[in-house]
Amino acid sequence: MQTANASQAELDKFSALASTWWDPAGQLKTLHDINPLRLDWIRTQAGTLSGQRVLDIGCGGGLLSEALAADGAEVTGIDLSQPAIQIARLHGHESNIHVQYECTSAESHAAEHAGQYDVVTCMELLEHVPDPAAIVQACAQLVRPGGLVCFSTLNRNPKSFLLAIVAAEYLLRMVPRGTHAYQQFITPSELASAARQATLEVSALDGIEYHPLTQHYSLGRDTSVNYMMAARRPEASV
C-alpha cells in the first residue's frame, strides 16, 4: 500500500474521530450538514447517479459513499484510515446500504483500476495531503474517458482564514480545533491548473455558502471559502 502522499498526523487526527463519524450532532456535524448539498451537486454534474460506477476518495466513515449508493450508484470508498474504514463497513451493515470499502491510497488504487469509474469524488481531502496534485492526477487516471471528477476544498485568502479557521474552529467550534492548516488551502486557479495538467477539463465551479443566522448551507457563486469543482476526462480521440 502506497502511503507516501499522506501525513501521519492527519491520519491520526481523523482516525481519532472515527467513532463519532455518524453522530449528526458530533464533531463532524458540518459534514452531515453539507452532505445533502454535496450529493445534489454531484448528481447535477453527473446527470444521474443510478447505475454509475463511483469512487469516493477519502471516504472516511462513509457519509458521502452511502448517500451516493442510496441514490443508485455502485460505490467504492477508499481511505487510508483503517479505523474510519471499519466504522464505514459497520455502518453499512447497519443501514443495509452496500458500499465496497478499501483501506488504500488513491495512487495505489489508480495503479490497479485505471479508467474503471464513471464518477470519481474527492471531497474535503486535498487540503489534508502533502501533494494535492498527485491526488488530482490519480483521479484523472481512475475515471473513464468522458467521465466526471468532483472536488471540494477550501480557498486560500484572508477571508477563508477568518471564517474556516478562526470562526469555525475557535469561535463557533463548528469543527475541532486543528482540523485545517491555512497553508494547505488551495485556490480555484491552483486546482484548475492541477486538473489541466492531469488532462482534465474543468466544467463547473460553485461555492458553498454558510448562513450563520439560519445555520444552513447553500450553493452560490461565492467561492472565497468553500468551493466545489467538477472536471471531465476528455473522450478518447478516434
128 falls within a domain: yes
Q: What is the pLDDT of residue 1?
A: 41
1 falls within a domain: no
CB of 167 within 8 A of CB of 220? Answer: no
89 falls within a domain: yes
Containing domain of residue 103, as a range?
A: 8-232
193 falls within a domain: yes
Q: What is the pLDDT of residue 33?
A: 93
With CA atoms as reference, report the closest residue to 194 among 143, 151, 162, 142: 151
72 falls within a domain: yes
CATH at 180: 3.40.50.150
54 falls within a domain: yes
User: What are 68's three cell numbers?
Assistant: 451516493
119 falls within a domain: yes
What values do phi and psi take at 54, rounded to 5?
Answer: -120, 135
Specify the 3-state DSSP secondary structure of 43: helix
238 falls within a domain: no
With CA atoms as reference, report the closest residue to 222 among 191, 188, 194: 188
Tell me how many domains the chain contains: 1
Q: What is the pLDDT of residue 237?
A: 53
Q: What is the pLDDT of residue 140?
A: 98
CB of 105 within 8 A of CB of 1? Answer: yes
Condensed to tens digits (0 to 9), the pLDDT of residues 102-160 reads 999 999 999 999 999 999 999 999 999 999 999 999 999 999 999 999 999 999 999 99
- DSSP assignments along 98-124, one per residue: --EEEE--HHHHHHHSTT-EEEEEEES
The ranges of the chain with pLDDT < 50 are 1-3, 238
- DSSP assignments along 6-25, one per residue: --HHHHHHHHHTGGGTT-TT
Q: What is the pLDDT of residue 189?
A: 98
